[in-house]
A and B are shown apart, each in its own frame.
Chain A
Amino acid sequence: MTTSTPKPTVATVWLDGCSGCHMSLMDLDERLITLAGLVEVLHSPVVDQKQFPQQVDVTLVEGAVSSEEDLHKALIIRARSKLVVALGDCAVTGNVPAMRNYFDRSDLFARAYVENAQEPPTPAERQVALPVVGVPPLRPHATALHEVIKVDMFLPGCPPPADAIWYVLTEILAGRTPATTTVSGFGR
C-alpha cells in the first residue's frame, strides 16, 4: 500500500499496571492487521524500540504513576505526544496500584521484603534486604496519570474491552472525540 501522506503515529506505554489493558489491545485480534495498515506503531511493550520517540500523534498509557521512573516517563510522553489517552482504570483512577496509598511506604517495604521474606532477614540484615539499587524510588502515592500530566482523553475499564479500544482509536483517527463512557466504565 502506498500513501501520499504519512500514517498517523501511535505509541503505547505500560506504567504501573498488570498489562491487562495491553492484553485487551491484543484482543483486537484480526483488527490488529487493519490497525497496522492505518497507523505506525513507534513504541510499545510489543515493539523493540526502547526509547520513547521524539514525536507521536497518539499515546495510549496503561498504569498508574507509582515510581519516579513512571513520573519521568509520563513527563516525556506529554512533551512528545499530541494526544495522550489514559487507558484503563489504573491510568484513570490509580485503581489497584493505588490501594497501597493507605499505608506508609516503610510499612509496605517491611511487609514485602522482611515479614513475608522466605528467610526473614535478621535485624542487622534488614537494611540490606530492602531493594535500593537498580530500582526506581517509589513515590509516596500511586496516582492517576492526570494528577501529574495533562491527559486529553480517558478510557476507563479494568480492562477496557477490545471493542472499546477499537472504537476510541477509530474515532480519534477519524478526527472525532469518542464518547468513552458509552463503551466502558470504571471497573467494567
Chain B
Amino acid sequence: MNTFTDVEIESITLRIDDKDVSCRKGETVLQVARENGIDIPTLCYMEGLTVWGGCRLCMVEIAGFPKLQAACATVCTEGMNISTNSPRLENYRRIIVELLLAERNHVCSVCVSNGHCELQAMAIKLGIDHVRFAYRFPHLDVDNSHDRMRMDHNRCILCSRCVRVCAEIEGAHTKDIKGRGVLAAIIHDLDQNWGESETCTSCGKCVNICPTGALTHRGTAVGEMTKKTMFLPYLTLMREAQP
C-alpha cells in the first residue's frame, strides 16, 4: 500500500496569459488561473460542487485548439498556452450576459438582491450599459408555497448551483431542472410546489448559493437579500478531512 511519501506528485507546467505557471496533475485551467491571481469570470462554477460548464463565461483560448474551451471543465496538460482575455472573449462574455438579461425578467431596481447579485455585478464588470437583444418578457411563476423560502423563476439563470448543492452537499436532491432551452426551469421533486416537497429539509443552502434573487428568504425587501456562501468551502473541507 502506498504511503503519502510514496505517491509521486506529477507536476505540470503551462502558460496562462504569458505567465509561466505550474500545477498538480488533474487541476483545471480555472483552478490554476485563480491560484495565480488571474481572474476568469464565472457564474455557474462553485468551488466544492461538481463542474457544470453551463454558463460559458469562463471560455478561454488555448493555442492549437480551434474552439474555445470552458476553463472550469478543462484539465491542464503539459505545455498548454492559454489566453483568458481577448477582444473575442470579451465580446462573447458580454453577449452571454446580455442574453441572460434578455431571457427572463431581471428588474434590478425592484429585486431583493439589488446590490448583492452576481449577474448584476457581472454586467457592470463587463461594461454592459444596455442589452442589444430584444427582451422576451416571459410570463413566469413565483413559487411562494414554502413557508421560509421563495423561488422566483423570473430571476433564475439556470446555473444549477442550487440543484448541485442540494444533491451533493445536503444530499436531498429536491431540486432539478425540467425542460430544454428557454422552457427549462428549476423544479422541486416531481415538479411540485416547493412547500409540498417531502424531500426538502429546508436547510436553505440553495438560497445562499443562488447568484441572483431567484432563491430568497421570505420577508426580504429590495436590496435586503445578502447571501452567505462560506458554508460551502467549510463543508467541503470537512468532507475531504474524513478518512
A-B complex: 10 closest residue pairs judged by Cβ atoms: A187-B108, A158-B109, A185-B124, A101-B137, A154-B129, A154-B130, A102-B139, A186-B108, A187-B114, A181-B127
Chain B residues lying within 8 Å of A99, measured Cβ to Cβ, are: 105, 107, 110
| Stretch of A34-42, A116-124, A140-148 on the interface side | A140-148
A187 touches B137 (CB 8 A): no
Known contacts A93-B130, A143-B135, A181-B124; 14 additional CB pairs below 8 A are A89-B108, A92-B129, A95-B109, A96-B107, A98-B107, A102-B137, A144-B130, A144-B131, A154-B130, A155-B129, A158-B108, A181-B128, A186-B109, A188-B115
B127 touches A179 (CB 8 A): yes
- Min distance, Cβ A179 to any Cβ of chain B, angstroms: 7
Q: Chain B 107-130 against A: per-residue CB contact (8 Å), 1 yes, 0 no?
A: 111110011010010011001111
- Min distance, Cβ A107 to any Cβ of chain B, angstroms: 11
Instruction: Report the bound CA distance from A147 to B137 in whole Å.
Output: 14
A86, A89, A144: the one contacting B109 at CB < 8 Å is: A89
Can you list 15 contacts pairing A with B, beta carbon distance less than 8 Å?
Answer: A93-B107, A93-B130, A93-B135, A95-B109, A96-B107, A101-B135, A144-B131, A144-B135, A151-B130, A156-B129, A158-B109, A186-B106, A187-B111, A187-B117, A188-B108
A103 touches B130 (CB 8 A): no
A103 touches B129 (CB 8 A): no
Instruction: Report the bound CA distance from A98 to B108 in whole Å.
Output: 12
- A99: nearest chain-B partner, CB-CB: B107
Interface residues on A, range: 20 to 34
A86 touches B130 (CB 8 A): yes
B105 touches A92 (CB 8 A): no
Q: Chain A 130-154 against B: per-residue CB contact (8 Å), 1 yes, 0 no?
A: 0000000000010110110001001
A contact residues vs B (CB 8 Å cutoff): 86, 89, 92-96, 98-99, 101-103, 141, 143-144, 146-147, 151, 154-156, 158, 179-181, 185-188
Known: A103-B139, A186-B123, A187-B120. A180 touches B109 (CB 8 A): no
The reply on B1 being an interface residue by CB < 8 A is no
B contact face: mostly helix, strand, loop, or mixed: loop
- A179: nearest chain-B partner, CB-CB: B127
Chain B residues lying within 8 Å of A187, measured Cβ to Cβ, are: 107-109, 111, 114-115, 117, 120
Chain A residues lying within 8 Å of B127, measured Cβ to Cβ, are: 179, 181
The reply on B26 being an interface residue by CB < 8 A is no
- B109: nearest chain-A partner, CB-CB: A158
- Min distance, Cβ A60 to any Cβ of chain B, angstroms: 15
Instruction: Report the bound CA distance from A129 to B120 in whole Å.
Output: 41
The reply on B241 being an interface residue by CB < 8 A is no
B134 touches A180 (CB 8 A): no
The reply on B138 being an interface residue by CB < 8 A is yes
Instruction: Report the bound CA distance from A98 to B104 in whole Å.
Output: 12
B137 touches A141 (CB 8 A): yes
A95 touches B137 (CB 8 A): no
B120, B131, B137: the one contacting A185 at CB < 8 Å is: B120
Contact residues, B63-122 vs A (CB, 8 A): 101, 105-111, 114-115, 117, 120
B109 touches A92 (CB 8 A): no
Instruction: Report the bound CA distance from A92 to B140 in whole Å.
Output: 22
Instruction: Report the bound CA distance from A147 to B107 in whole Å.
Output: 17
Instruction: Report the bound CA distance from A155 to B138 in whole Å.
Output: 25
